[in-house]
Homo-oligomer: A and B are copies of this chain.
Amino acid sequence: MYELGVVYRNVRRADGDVAAKLGALGTATVHEAMGRTGLFKPYMRPIYPGAQASGTAVTVLLHPGDNWMLHVVAEQIRPGDIVVAAVTAECADGYFGDLLATSFKARGARGLVIDAGVRDVRVLAEMQFPVWSKAISAKGTVKATLGSVNVPVVCAGALVTPGDVIVADEDGVVAVPAAWAQKTLASALAREASEGEKRAKLAAGVLGLDMYGMREPLQKAGLKYVD
């Protein structure tokens, strides 16, 4: 259940430096470091190739076909934020276009994650303002009903609390609670550190079967080879 008609001005944001470092590691590594949680549903896709962003979440709750609150959330953006927009029912309309992107960018937003549609995608790509959405649609919206800003929202199946770290790239979008950001970063860095060596071995033809010591557990599980 959502609280409607409220704008929370003070958000305890995760550390911006931690957010940047998590962003550099990418969604797959961060999501693994969180025990495979925090991921948005895979229907959320970047609107142009190469899109990549990380930052702290300001959230907005919208009604279907109504983008009024996107103007309200714009004022709450601080440099380094990513706007996370949820909708109270399924909607694929184009809530966001080049004018709002210009405004969000001027306020310092790093990107938008919206569980709905966007439009003017060619201009957004030219502006290099990254957006993850579930649809692209020229369908416009009205400005009639109040939602809320900076309340916890469910966006594409993920619970997002204002101030969470958001990491988004071509593999998807993940939310890291502010309180867990530092710990997640440490775990993700450890994970990343071991990857270079693994990659070199695999490139040289070593099999994962040997590198990860899988032959014995596979045999125990009963795997049989037939010539």
Contacts and interface: CB of A to CB of B under 8 A. Distances in A.
Interface residues on A, range: 35 or more
Tally of this chain's copies: 6
A138 B102 contact: no
B154 A208 contact: no
B138 A207 contact: no
B122 A50 contact: yes
Contacts of A93: 64, 89
Contact of A9 (B38, B121, B143, B226): B226
A120 B28 contact: yes
Interface string A139-163: 1101111100000101001110000
B157 A195 contact: no
A1 B199 contact: no
Nearest to A91: B64
Contacts of A27: 119, 138
